[in-house]
């Protein structure tokens, strides 16, 4: 099992990550149209380019590469899932939602372009996400394209991200217990993170058993991401985060930290990270090193 348990050296992972981040940035730059009319393209590009950790694309690409998937399909899936994430941030930041003015260190889209344009840019980014998955250039086979669309639609919609945001809205000022908080985050952020892993898997041939272990890995990465997000909301400053820190506490939103305390939340993040690693160990995947390191990166990040 030593090969399975080994992880990349951190410098190797960093090199992998930076190379993939740059490739995703380029693909997004190519894929998000600048020529969209009446400033819409500018707002869309502003929302997407030159920012973010690209965690979801990295999960797609790492999973696909680990399983020997189709690289062109994987890059399209990576961009599609990032566009869904980007649109959700644009809409989430709007005055009727979180009313936030800072994102990735820049004014939010509605501050920069106005609310109406932000609304439209988000809508157009969602449509573009699906468009990218069904090219007419032969780079994604129809069976794979349909499967990718299904995974993305389910993760983005009422049973996934949008539903989680509705629960989040309804939960402000209410006491949620930990199971309810986890259920909310499983939809709000977890569904898209898990879908990123499953979309990477969908670019390859994979057994149902391996797929199930990858689903567990994706769920754990999603949960770890959120627990750490809540920790950073109280421990990091706005400059480091590139968004307004301390916002959840100020909004009286339930978080893992408000529920468990800071120390327990940190210990919980570590336990969930262990579960992600365990899922990889059980998956039968020969060289899960990048996925292993990616989980660590999520669970031990400082911004």
Q: Is residue 235 exposed (0-12), middle (13-18) or buried (19+ Cβ within 10 Å)?
A: middle
Q: Which is nearer to its own copies, 226 or 290 (CB)?
A: 226
Q: Which is nearer to its own copies, 140 or 228 (CB)?
A: 140
Q: Which is nearer to its own copies, 86 or 273 (CB)?
A: 86
Report, in Å, the least distance between residue 15 CB and its own copies: 35
How many Å apart are CA 58 and CA 238, to the nearest integer? 24
* Residue 106 parent element (H or E): strand 106-107
Q: Is residue 42 exposed (0-12), middle (13-18) or buried (19+ Cβ within 10 Å)?
A: middle
Q: Which is nearer to its own copies, 192 or 293 (CB)?
A: 192
Report, in Å, the least distance between residue 35 CB and its own copies: 9
Q: Which of 225, 84, 88 is nearest to 151 (CA)?
A: 84
Report, in Å, the least distance between residue 110 CB and its own copies: 8
Q: Looking at residue 114, what DSSP letter applies?
A: -
Angle 171-225-274 from CA coordinates, rounded to 5°:
120
Q: Which is nearer to its own copies, 129 or 224 (CB)?
A: 129
Cβ(76)–Cβ(300) under 8 Å? no
How many Å apart are CA 73 and CA 134, to the nearest integer? 10
Q: Which is nearer to its own copies, 147 or 292 (CB)?
A: 147
Three-class SS of residue 107?
A: strand
Report, in Å, the least distance between residue 297 CB and its own copies: 28
How many Å apart are CA 280 and CA 287, to the nearest integer? 9
How many Å apart are CA 122 and CA 13, to the nearest integer? 32
Q: Which is nearer to its own copies, 30 or 136 (CB)?
A: 136
Report, in Å, the least distance between residue 11 CB and its own copies: 39
Angle 118-122-127 from CA coordinates, rounded to 5°:
145
Report, in Å, the least distance between residue 188 CB and its own copies: 10
Residue with tokens 């949008």: 162
Report, in Å, the least distance between residue 283 CB and its own copies: 23
Q: Where on the chain is the footprint of its own copies (CB under 8 A)? A: 33, 36-41, 44, 87-88, 91, 94, 96-97, 114-117, 119-120, 122-124, 126-128, 130-131, 133-136, 140, 142-143, 145-147, 149-150, 152-154, 156-160, 162-167, 169-170, 187
């Amino acid at each position: 099992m030593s090969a399975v348990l080994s992880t990349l050296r951190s410098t190797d992972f960093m090199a992998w990550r930076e190379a993939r981040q740059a490739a995703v940035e380029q693909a997004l730059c190519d894929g998000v149209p600048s020529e969209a009319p009446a400033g819409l393209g500018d707002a869309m590009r502003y929302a997407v380019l030159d920012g973010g950790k690209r965690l979801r694309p990295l999960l797609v690409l790492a999973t696909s590469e680990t399983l020997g998937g189709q690289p062109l399909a994987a890059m399209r899936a990576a961009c599609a899932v990032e566009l869904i994430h980007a649109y959700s941030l644009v809409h989430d930041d709007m005055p009727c939602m979180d009313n936030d003015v800072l994102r990735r260190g820049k004014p939010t889209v509605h501050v920069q372009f106005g609310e109406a344009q932000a609304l439209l840019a988000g809508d157009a980014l969602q449509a573009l996400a699906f468009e990218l998955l069904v090219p007419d250039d032969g780079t994604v086979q129809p069976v794979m394209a349909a499967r990718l669309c299904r995974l993305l639609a389910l993760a983005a919609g009422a049973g996934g991200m949008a539903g989680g945001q509705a629960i989040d809205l309804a939960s402000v000022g209410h006491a949620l217990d930990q199971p309810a908080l986890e259920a909310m985050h499983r939809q709000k952020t977890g569904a898209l993170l898990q879908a990123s892993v499953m979309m990477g898997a969908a670019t390859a041939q994979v057994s149902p058993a391996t797929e199930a272990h990858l689903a567990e890995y994706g769920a754990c990465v999603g949960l770890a991401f959120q627990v750490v997000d809540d920790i950073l909301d109280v421990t990091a400053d706005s400059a480091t985060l590139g968004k307004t820190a301390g916002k959840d506490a100020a909004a009286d939103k339930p978080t893992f930290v408000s529920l468990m305390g800071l120390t327990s939340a940190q210990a919980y993040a570590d336990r969930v990270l262990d579960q992600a690693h365990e899922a990889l160990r059980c998956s039968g995947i020969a060289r899960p090193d990048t996925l292993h390191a990616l989980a660590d990166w999520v669970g031990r990040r400082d911004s």
